[in-house]
Structure 1
């Protein structure tokens, strides 16, 4: 492995993040487990950053891809009719709840967010965009401009004029102790104040993650975005929900994360889990917004036949197996167990989440300050115990986990035991 790591460092950029002091190569997977090159097996609680949404070696997905490969047509591009693309778009448009919805497919969440921002700024004839503090929307030029996390921003240059709102930062002094209703009221007051003071004329859109991914699964209280939407609608401002991590039933309580707020946005972006490892992303939006741009457009690889075969099979599997309900059941086992155990560990600052999307925030036991070093230790400990987890948070101090939606109740209990044991070992 040291040879492979040396080769990686010789040809890959230094900023390309690798987990663990001794990075691992995953060589096989089955169900909700993977095996590394040394033969060690892991229960996967991060799923390739929420992307292997229904686990590994899923027969329905594999067979759908093999059927498409057998036709000899791996790619045609969007200048031809693509049956699988149309079928998937019909499903997503129906599930979205967006009136007269249309869908455009891309290769990633970053591309999807760029597309949504283009549609919004075109429709509103404005470069002004609202986004949330602590957000992350991708690594491209425009997506970085609506990202509010210094660790992920290389410069201040931007094609957009962006203003950031409160909504997932209840740890700040001015919000501590507020009830959900009080916090929502304070955030809406802030939104009104931003519109009164910081912007000039029309604003194109608000883009927001219902649960912030890189932000460490921080989230606004249910109802905040509905309160925001009242203000936005009065101004004609569009609402884009970034569902790249929260879509397809992961929260357990709703099929798309924004539905937990009782909101139907103007657009939703999606990616990651829909292809169960195959590259697919996209935007579902009101038809008038999607149809509006006057220039010709296409996607060379977006909606390609292989990705569409995988995505159709994945979405059908999620729906036919009611994986949203499974996320609610198995997520409750883990979250309830972590919350019950947390008081024993002064290093746990917070346990939060919905469904199979949860996080443990690690803090200095004396001061309560974010403790990224403890998070790094916890990562190593969970790995040694046979579980893969992710890391995030504004200060890199939150362990964020999102197992495949196919997680069994026994696997949920197994993972919970590992997480608690790891806390015991580093406390």
Structure 2
């Protein structure tokens, strides 16, 4: 089986972007305009209203009851709102034409359906898009930021969604792991990332695709969702489960569960539960074939070693040749990229319907690793392919805007570290000067 290496840039629906900097400037203007027009009606300064986004139908019904809707009308009203929120993609109650003005005003006074605030939107030379999104503080504290990435490819558009602000797992090759965990994202904040991406890409009926954007040439522009952004999804199980139920609902956003992938570093007790209760595709952030090395690269392995992790994978509900587990393997030069490692990888995955994604390491400031040489990556892939596993090499995307696998970290955290480093350098210079 040949290694799949796709180096061709996808075609834009309206032509390739000729000037990425110009598009970024236009995006910033559009963001400012949208922020000005989507303020929550009647909100007092600093007031945060609960969001209707991410609620189940039952929860949405109870929200309607709380503003005086009669219970005999709830089923109809829930269906109306569901259509407006997830099929039409509106972000303002005033746009809900078949909902009475009185009810629209009650909803606007009590709730919000606003999108996350966009801090920055960057477009890579290869068409990858990265949004830095800001969410309000929950209780005490300050607003928080996360990153969401859109990856356009031939025939599909994949949205990489975050589940936490920061991360507790400290995987040594991952930039997010250098940012402390601030909090879990809520279901509305997770679903909000999908809604915002569809807005910005023109994937709702009334939305326009940016001129020159690189997107799939036909079909849905956000066709796949991967829970592979910031955070460990299985450490935020309830919110992720609720969000993915909304994203996969057939009468709303309607993404097939076979097009939704949850990636975990190996929270073993939650893997079977995820399969039984979410039913989405599973990806394992593996990266090593020996416990002593995985203990270093993915420290959760000290708690849940490879033997337990692989047993949980073999027991994953619905596992079959048609529903394979994806094993992600970052290629680190001189660390885990030998042919002996490739042969050991084949051995430990025996009996598991699987495919292996080989990920060239994407560097970030301060990282201690180098990417494996390309010819070594190809030799590794050949060894795995010859054993019968499909093992495409994931071509790096979005490196120029720090949007590639393992590079995500909130911009504010990045800037705070830069400021700390500058202060430390100034202190050293001052001490040296006497």
TM-score by length of 1: 0.28
RCO comparison, higher one (Cα < 8 Å, 6+): 1
| Rg (Cα) greater in structure | 2
